[in-house]
Structures are given as structure tokens and as C-alpha cells.
């Protein structure tokens, strides 16, 4: 085909209006299944503490003489544990001009960026809570130390009772001497297997726990669904094409069902077995928008939160570590 000579086309035309759709498409997901499923608590100091306890094992020798004199032994006391409140924040600063100009997809740049930062901050919280970081009491130059931010002990760092680790791996846990949570030591990497799930579920049940959730990084969800036999079936739909079920969302083990939950913010080489009723997100300061004084031709906002993780009793949960 040949263009007619002298045709005015869009390549030379001036004054075309911009075709920019009045919408912004953001594919990044801000889902936080760990935070969404666990409980809520209130911290009242930068060191948040609570107590744990356990019943003594059953005594099969508990048979007494008729008319015997009573005797007494000291009862075991509770165990006091705690975690540190961590401060996380997201800064926003928008020039007066950027707020005033006509914009596509949003009316206020300050409000749009504040909403976006709030979702990012929640993602940060999820990833931090699920990390294997040790707690840190922090410090400042005012007491002769160095300026160090406080850090909470992540959920996997607490777990010492029901654990499956690669060769050379070691538990972290709460240290009664220092009052801090110690990070675990990584072991030799190994493949994720169904036997590990069975072993940890049994260990949790024996310890008195009733976990209901199996939380894992996205890649491990595919490995989980590929366990032999648990997701190999076809669902008859009458005259329509059959549905191939190639994923497992609920694993029914010997000691109860476990919901298999992939987590986009969870990228470590571990799978966690969780009892949501035995872990809480405790806020010293819930997420808030701070409005600093304006010192130039710009609007400032700071999204800020101060929080910690309360692991009510670590023996209620389990972890499978050092996975490839």
C-alpha cells in the first residue's frame, strides 16, 4: 500500500492531546497473611514481657498409702520472657508544585504516596516478623553507648521445641541470662519433604500445641503440592471438561488439618507451622501519620509504627529449617 502524496499524518501533525488514562495500575501485592491471622496485643514499654508455663508430665507412679502423711515438693514457677519493640517508618515529602499540578490517576500526591507508603510499611512488618533476626535492646550515646536501633526477635528465632534442622543447624531462642532472643544457626540445606511436616506436627501435638497453619514461601507451595498423592486427582464436572486438581490447600495430617498458606513477603528457606491463637502482634504505637512542621515549599509526612512480636508459648509452633 502507498500513502497518497501530500497526506497530513500524525507523524507531522501538531497539537495532539495526550492520551493518558486517569488510573494507576500497581501489580505489587501487599497481602500479609501472618499479620492478618495472628492476634493483637498492647505493649506498654519498649521491653514487652509475658509469662509461659506448662503442666508437669503425667506421673504413672502416683499411688499413695492409706493414711500416709502428706509430703510436699516445690512447684515449678512460671517462665518470664519478652521481646523488644522495634520502630519502623516510611518518609514522604512532596513539593508544593507537585501537589498543585493537575495529575492523572490521583488528585493529591500527598495522599496517594501516604497510602502507598502505608502498604509498604505493612509489608516490611510482615517480613520482619517472619525473619530469623535476633532481638537487640538498642542503645544511644546518651548512656555512653552507640546509636543502635532496637530490633524485635523474629518468629523463627523463638522456636526451639518443635524444630527440624539440617545437619549442623542450631536453635536460637529466648536467653534468660541476657533477656534477648538469639537467632538460629543455619545448617546444611536439604529438600522439603512430607516426612518433615509429619514429624513436626507430631512434635507440636506431643508438646500440647494445636497448629492449624503451614506458612511457606511461594516456591515451597509448589513443592508441597507435589508431595506424592496429595494433589493428584481429577474432579468430574459432568459434560464439561474435567478439572485437574494440582494443588493442596489443606493438609489433613494425623493430628489435625493444616492450611497451606503461601506468603509473598516470606522468602527464607523455612516452612513454619503456626497456631495463630498463640502468637500476637503487640503495638506500643499503632501505625500513624506524623505531620512534621513545614520548613520549605514541600509537604512532609512520616508513617511510623512501634511494635513487637509476642510468642505466647513457642512450644505451640514448629519450624522446618534449612530447605533448598
Q: How far apart (Å, rounded) are the C-alpha atoms in residues 213 and 251?
A: 9
Q: Model's pTM, two decimal places?
A: 0.87
CB 323 within 8 A of CB 189: yes
In this structure, what are the phi and psi dihedrals at residue 26, rounded to the nearest 5 degrees?
A: -120, 115
Local confidence pLDDT in tens for the 324 residues of the chain: 788 887 777 788 778 777 666 666 666 667 899 999 999 999 999 999 999 998 888 999 999 999 999 999 999 899 999 999 999 999 999 999 999 999 888 899 999 999 999 999 999 999 999 999 999 999 988 877 889 999 999 999 999 999 999 999 999 999 999 999 999 999 999 999 999 999 999 999 999 999 999 999 998 998 888 887 655 555 555 566 555 555 678 888 899 999 999 999 988 899 999 999 999 999 999 999 999 999 999 999 999 999 999 999 999 999 999 998
Q: Are strands 213-217 and 180-182 parallel, antiparallel or unpaired?
A: unpaired
CB 183 within 8 A of CB 157: yes
Give the number of other CB atoms < 10 A from CB of residue 284: 17
Distance (Å) of CA 210 to CA 55, 202, 206, 258, 277: 16, 10, 10, 10, 9
Could you tell me which residues come within 8 angstroms of residue 178 by beta carbon, excluding any fewer than 6 positions away? none
**CA atoms within a 13 Å half-sphere pointing along the CA-CB vector of 230:** 19
Helices (H) and strands (E) in the chain, counts: 6, 16
- How do residues 76-118 score in pLDDT, each as one tens digit? 899 999 999 999 999 999 999 999 999 888 899 999 999 999 9
Query: Domains of the chain: which residue ranges?
Result: 33-49+78-202+266-320
Nearest to 320 by CA among 207, 220, 210: 220
CB 243 within 8 A of CB 235: yes
Cα separation of the two ends of the chain:
58
Amino acid at each position: 500500500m502507498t500513502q497518497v502524496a501530500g497526506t497530513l499524518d500524525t507523524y507531522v501533525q501538531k497539537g495532539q492531546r495526550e492520551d493518558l488514562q486517569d488510573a494507576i495500575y500497581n501489580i505489587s501485592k501487599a497481602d500479609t497473611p501472618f499479620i492478618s491471622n495472628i492476634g493483637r496485643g498492647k505493649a506498654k514499654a519498649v521491653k514487652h514481657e509475658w509469662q509461659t508455663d506448662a503442666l508437669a508430665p503425667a506421673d504413672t507412679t502416683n499411688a499413695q498409702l492409706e493414711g500416709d502423711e502428706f509430703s510436699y515438693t516445690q512447684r515449678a514457677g512460671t517462665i518470664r520472657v519478652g521481646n523488644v519493640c522495634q520502630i519502623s517508618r516510611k518518609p514522604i515529602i512532596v513539593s508544593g508544585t507537585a501537589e498543585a499540578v493537575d495529575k492523572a490517576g490521583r488528585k493529591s500526591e500527598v495522599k496517594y504516596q501516604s497510602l502507598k507508603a502505608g502498604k509498604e510499611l505493612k509489608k516490611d512488618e510482615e517480613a520482619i516478623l517472619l525473619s530469623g533476626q535476633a532481638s537487640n535492646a538498642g542503645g544511644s550515646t546518651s548512656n555512653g553507648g552507640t546509636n543502635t536501633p532496637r530490633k524485635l526477635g523474629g518468629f523463627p528465632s523463638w522456636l526451639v521445641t518443635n524444630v527440624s534442622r539440617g545437619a549442623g543447624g542450631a536453635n536460637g531462642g529466648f536467653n534468660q541470662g541476657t533477656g534477648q532472643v538469639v537467632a538460629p544457626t543455619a545448617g546444611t540445606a536439604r529438600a522439603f519433604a512430607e516426612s518433615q511436616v509429619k514429624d513436626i506436627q507430631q512434635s507440636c501435638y506431643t508438646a500440647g500445641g494445636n497448629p492449624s497453619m503451614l506458612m511457606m514461601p511461594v516456591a515451597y507451595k509448589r513443592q508441597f503440592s507435589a508431595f506424592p498423592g496429595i494433589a493428584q486427582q481429577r474432579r468430574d464436572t459432568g459434560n464439561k471438561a474435567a478439572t485437574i486438581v494440582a494443588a493442596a490447600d489443606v493438609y489433613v495430617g494425623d493430628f489435625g488439618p493444616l492450611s497451606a498458606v503461601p506468603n509473598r513477603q516470606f522468602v527464607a528457606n523455612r516452612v513454619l507451622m503456626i497456631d495463630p491463637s498463640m502468637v500476637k502482634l503487640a503495638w506500643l504505637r499503632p501505625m500513624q501519620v506524623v505531620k512534621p512542621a513545614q520548613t520549605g515549599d514541600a509537604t512532609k509526612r512520616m508513617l511510623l509504627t512501634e511494635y513487637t512480636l509476642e510468642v505466647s508459648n513457642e512450644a505451640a509452633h514448629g519450624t522446618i529449617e534449612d530447605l533448598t
